[in-house]
Structure 1
Amino acid sequence: MTGTIEIASFEAEDQQGVIDLILPIQREEFGFAITAEDQPDLAAIPAFYQSGKGDFWVARCEDRVVGSIGLKDIGNDQAALRKMFVAAPFRGREHGVAAGLLQRLLDEARERGIRDVFLGTTDRFLAAHRFYEKHGFVEIAKAELPESFLFMAVDTKFYVFRLAAAL
């Protein structure tokens, strides 16, 4: 793919692009029977993510949303990483979209005083497990998650990035 990748905060005009990015990955690549209606956060990104210390970023290439990542403020200077998706043609080290999105999230979280970033994923996302571990996330037991962590039904594996320790 050609074109410059821009990472920016979500804006209202990104709404359909985010849905068009996420749903095919969930349904076609990973076989989850899930709809946009099953994910009310997708219809309310500003209210759900862009409040408190949270935010939501998109990667754009030529006005097309090719990546997304959300930081959900869960209180107590903690947050959850959610909705990290990258369109297949933009995956891989040579594009740097996933790494760029994650770095933006961690930099912003640090600036906002977040101490810990938690995430949940499924056993199926093996490449995601390697990616998170390579970038400093440590696997933890479900019991170690804060009570305020929002579980997705498909989540079976959990990670934390301790920003306070990384300062």
Structure 2
Amino acid sequence: METTNRSDLVIRKATASDADTILAGIRMIGDHLGTPHKISATAEDFRRHGFGASPAFEVLIAEIDGVFAGLCLYFASFSTWRGKPGAYIQDLVVDKAFRGNGVAEALLRQTARHVREKGGVYLRLSVDAGNLTAQRFYERIGLQHQPEEHIHAIYGDAFEALAGLGESGV
């Protein structure tokens, strides 16, 4: 187990048996943002895609005195401009009961160590536009907003339509 400078805070790598805990953490984010209806993931989705021979992501779980305190879900990324690997943090959450105790910063530091151990040199993430508290926190610890970038995404039927474009021989 990996520990931080707090004797009661332990950060460990998640296993498939943590899938329900991971889902609960993701639901905390949805609740915090007022968008729980947008979460359709299941614990089985996390078990299937996050563990095994070729996991799509990794998760670090923080516990204080054995109680879930937060998590950081991330996956490998590659910067073509830097020519180096890194990671994209998809989700970072701290349970309300443990906010203000350094859990999020400890999770980010441990994530950075894990990424560095694999040759990575950067972390990236996006933050909900209305989550000003998170934005201030990220900037305070050194993650800077990149005003020259905008996130674009495609989901659902629009994704299926785009994926189908290549089927016509193009």
TM-score (norm 2): 0.69
Question: What is the match of residue 27 of structure 2?
Answer: 23
Count of residue pairs the alignment pairs up: 139
1:5 to 5, 9, 34: 9
Higher relative contact order (CA 8 A, sep 6+): 1
User: Would you say 1:84 and 2:92 are equivalent positions?
Assistant: yes
Residues 109-150 of structure 1 show CA distances to partners (whole Å, capped at 9, x for unaligned) of 2222112211111112111111111111111146478xxxx9
1:57 to 53, 56, 60: 60
From 53, 56, 64, give the equivalent of 1:48.
Answer: 56
| Aligned equivalents of 1:103, 1:121: Cα separation in 2 | 18
The whole-number CA distance in structure 2 between the counterparts of 1:104 and 1:119 is: 15
Aligned to 1:102: 108
CA distance in 2, matches of 1:151, 1:63: 37
Please give the alpha-carbon distance, in whole angstroms, between the structure 2 residues aligned to 1:134 and 1:41.
34
The structure with the greater share of residues assigned to helix is: 2
Contact 1:66 1:90 in 2 (8 A): yes
Change (3 A) 1:142 1:64: farther
Q: Which has the larger radius of gyration?
A: 2
Aligned ranges for residues 63-78 of structure 1 at < 5 Å?
A: 63-75=66-78, 76-78=84-86
Contact 1:86 1:98 survives alignment (8 Å): yes
Contact 1:57 1:101 in 2 (8 A): yes
Give ranges in structure 2 of 5+ residues lacking alignment.
1-6, 79-83, 156-170
Q: Indicate the SS of the match to 1:139.
A: coil
Greater share of strand = 1
Matching residue within 124, 135, 148 for 2:141: 135
TM-align CA RMSD: 2.8
User: After superposition, what is the alpha-carbon deviation per residue over 1:22-78, rounded to whole angstroms, capped at 9, x for unaligned?
Assistant: 20331x3211122242899634223111xxxxx320012344322110231023413
What TM-score does the superposition give when structure 1 sets the normalisation length?
0.70
Q: Which amino acid aligns with 1:6?
A: V
Unmatched 5+ stretches in structure 1: 50-54, 154-167
